[in-house]
Structure 1
Amino acid sequence: MDHRLLLYFTTLVDKGTFTQAAKALHISQPSLSSAIKKLEDNMGLSLFERSTRKISLTREGEILYKESNKLLNHFEHVQKEMTRLKNEGPLELKIGTIESVKFWLPKVIVTYRESNPEVHIKLLEVLGLRQVETALQNYKIHLAITNQHFENDEILTVPIYKENLVALFPKGHRLQHIQAISINDLEEEEFIICKEGFQTRQDILNAFRKTGINPNIHFEIERFETACSLVEEGLGITIVPENYIKSINHSAFSYKRITNANLSRTVYIACLKNRYLPPVIEQFINITNDFFEKSIYND
Structure 2
Amino acid sequence: MEFRQLLYFITLADEKNYTRAASTLHIAQPSLSAAIKKLEQELELSLMDRSSRGFRLTSEGEILYQEAKKLIHHYEHVSFEMDRLKQQGPLELSIGLIESSMFFVSGILTQFKQEYNDVRIRLLETLSLSDVEQALNNFDIHLAITNQYIHKDDIETIPIYEERLVALLPPGHRLNEQKTLAICDLDGENFIVCKEGFQTRRDILNAFSKSGIKPNIQFEIERFETGSSLVEDGLGITVVPENYIRYANNARCTSKAIEGAGISRTVYLAYDKNRYLPPIVERFMELVKASFRAD
- Fold shared, TM-score > 0.5 on shorter chain: yes
Corresponding residue for 1:29?
A: 29
Provide the C-alpha distance between the structure 1 equivalents of 2:51 and 2:138, rounded to a whole number of angstroms.
35
Matches within 5 A, 1:37-186: 37-51=37-51, 55-186=55-186
Corresponding residue for 1:263?
A: 263
Classify the secondary structure of the residue corresponding to 1:46: coil
C-alpha RMSD of the superposition: 1.8
Amino acid at match of 2:109: I
Amino acid at match of 2:184: N
Provide the C-alpha distance between the structure 1 equivalents of 2:94 and 2:36, rounded to a whole number of angstroms.
37
For structure 1, which runs of at least 5 residues remain unmatched after alignment? none
Residues 249 and 25 of structure 1: CA distance in aligned 2, closer, same or farther (over 3 Å): closer
Provide the C-alpha distance between the structure 2 equivalents of 1:164 and 1:231, rounded to a whole number of angstroms.
19
TM-score norm. by structure 1 comes to 0.92
Corresponding residue for 1:211?
A: 211
Residues 118 and 188 of structure 1: CA distance in aligned 2, closer, same or farther (over 3 Å): same
Which has the higher mean CA deviation after the structures are superposed, 242-251 or 227-236?
Answer: 242-251
Classify the secondary structure of the residue corresponding to 2:176: coil
Classify the secondary structure of the residue corresponding to 1:220: strand
1:26 offset after TM fit, Å?
2.4
1:254 offset after TM fit, Å?
1.2
Detail structure 1 runs of 4+ shifted over 3 Å in the superposition. 49-56, 82-90
Residues 218 and 56 of structure 1: CA distance in aligned 2, closer, same or farther (over 3 Å): closer
Provide the aligned length of Structure 1 versus Structure 2. Answer: 295
Provide the C-alpha distance between the structure 1 equivalents of 2:26 and 2:237, rounded to a whole number of angstroms.
61
Amino acid at match of 2:67: E
Residues 17, 54 of structure 1: 8 Å contact kept: no
Residues 228, 250 of structure 2: 8 Å contact kept: no
Identity between Structure 1 and Structure 2 (%): 57
Amino acid at match of 2:29: Q
Residues 34 and 263 of structure 1: CA distance in aligned 2, closer, same or farther (over 3 Å): same
Corresponding residue for 2:234?
A: 234
Provide the C-alpha distance between the structure 1 equivalents of 2:50 and 2:238, rounded to a whole number of angstroms.
58
Residues 90, 280 of structure 1: 8 Å contact kept: no
Corresponding residue for 2:193?
A: 193
Residues 98, 146 of structure 2: 8 Å contact kept: yes
Provide the C-alpha distance between the structure 2 equivalents of 1:243 and 1:7, rounded to a whole number of angstroms.
46
Residues 19 and 251 of structure 1: CA distance in aligned 2, closer, same or farther (over 3 Å): closer
Corresponding residue for 2:224?
A: 224
Classify the secondary structure of the residue corresponding to 1:277: coil
Amino acid at match of 1:187: D
Amino acid at match of 1:164: R
Residues 129, 199 of structure 1: 8 Å contact kept: yes
Amino acid at match of 2:183: I
Residues 93, 122 of structure 1: 8 Å contact kept: yes
Residues 25 and 180 of structure 1: CA distance in aligned 2, closer, same or farther (over 3 Å): closer
Residues 167, 237 of structure 1: 8 Å contact kept: yes
Are residues 1:272 and 2:278 paired? Answer: no
For structure 2, which runs of at least 5 residues remain unmatched after alignment? none
